[in-house]
């Protein structure tokens, strides 16, 4: 467990201005209305003026970061799909995609459906997210679900496929969904059936959704890839998050900040705990330097 510091302001006196700033979106940068605060927009603008790079890191696909980018004064590189995709919003280009192949998708679904009765996996549905090449690719070609899949969010931009067709093409993420259990309960049922050498499982929302990516894929892996190209070090990075899919990212960053509304495991892994997303916790930290 990382050292917990008594007060936010006292802790920040010990931290130099970062060269690389990374923020999760939902539950972190965005408030309950999915808005970026005016204060945060001002802070991002000042960061850009001073040469500090701002990057978004989210479980969302690229097309779902566009409403956020429209609220920002910069067009950043975005780590999407929990690290499986890097999207260059300035060029509208998917510049990196780490995929699960069809054989792996098939094996995982077989493991999760065999003997599922009496477990949190009973009645679970499956979906895949494909990378595409642009945030403006047709959503119904990228987000595909099995019959009866219970959507965690309103969606009219998806395609319903048989399991065979669902796994016929590579995907950057496999979603396991059971609305009758929590994400923690579902994860606890999923994880023992999977080999971490073959896939990586996590969750970013509490309502019965587990997200599976290629082995070793996390927000951290894509941030390391970006940082290498920027010529910045982990020690020069500050990262903000709220859910277990942020843990690898927070473990890598020189300064790890959990939101006041964060999952307990995230708070335990962080150097600092700031205010909640609805109280502009990210801006409260970054305003120390910018």
* Distance between CA atoms of residues 226 and 243, nearest Å: 22
pLDDT reported for residue 5: 41
Mean pLDDT in residue range 82-110: 97
For residue range 76-93, what is the model confidence (pLDDT) as tens digits? 999 999 999 999 999 999
Q: What is the CATH number of domain 102-213?
A: 3.30.1240.10
Q: What pLDDT band is residue 7 in, cutting at 50, 70 and 90?
A: low
Domain(s) labelled CATH 3.30.1240.10 in the chain stretch across: 102-213
Top CATH class of 8-97+218-286 equals: alpha beta
pLDDT reported for residue 9: 64
pLDDT over 90 (residue 152): no
Cβ(282)–Cβ(274) below 8 Å: yes
Q: What pLDDT band is residue 263 in, cutting at 50, 70 and 90?
A: very high
Q: What are phi and psi of 280, to 5 degrees?
A: 60, 45
Q: Which of the two residues, 6 and 134, has the higher pLDDT score?
A: 134
pLDDT over 50 (residue 102): yes
Strand pairing category for 255-258 and 237-241: parallel
pTM: 0.88
Share of the chain above pLDDT 70, in %: 96
pLDDT over 50 (residue 22): yes
Domain(s) labelled CATH 3.40.50.1000 in the chain stretch across: 8-97+218-286
């Amino acid at each position: 467990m990382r050292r917990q510091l008594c007060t936010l302001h006292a802790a920040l006196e010990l931290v130099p201005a970062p060269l690389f700033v990374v923020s999760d979106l939902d539950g972190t940068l965005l408030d309950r209305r999915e808005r970026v605060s005016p204060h945060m927009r001002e802070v991002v603008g000042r960061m850009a003026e001073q040469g500090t790079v701002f990057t978004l890191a989210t479980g969302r696909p690229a097309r779902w970061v566009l409403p956020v980018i429209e609220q920002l004064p910069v067009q950043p590189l975005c780590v999407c799909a929990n690290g499986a995709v890097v999207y260059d919003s300035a060029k509208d280009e998917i510049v990196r995609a780490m995929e699960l192949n069809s054989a792996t998708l098939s094996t995982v679904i077989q493991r999760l459906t065999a003997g599922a009765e009496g477990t949190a996996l009973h009645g679970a549905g499956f979906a895949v997210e494909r990378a595409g090449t642009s945030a403006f690719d047709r959503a119904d070609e990228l987000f595909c679900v099995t019959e009866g899949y219970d959507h965690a969010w309103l969606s009219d931009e998806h395609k319903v496929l048989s399991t065979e067709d669902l796994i016929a093409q590579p995907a950057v993420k496999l979603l396991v969904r059971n609305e009758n259990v929590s994400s923690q309960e579902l994860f606890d049922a999923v994880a023992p059936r999977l080999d971490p050498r073959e896939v990586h499982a996590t969750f970013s929302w509490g309502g019965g959704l587990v997200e599976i990516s290629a082995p070793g894929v996390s927000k951290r892996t894509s941030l390391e890839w970006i940082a290498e190209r920027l010529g910045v070090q982990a020690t020069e990075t500050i990262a903000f998050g709220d859910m277990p899919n942020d843990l690898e990212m927070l473990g890598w960053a020189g300064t790890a900040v959990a939101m006041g509304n964060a999952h307990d495991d995230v708070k335990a892994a962080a150097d600092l705990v700031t205010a909640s997303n609805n109280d502009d916790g990210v801006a409260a930290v970054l305003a120390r330097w910018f």
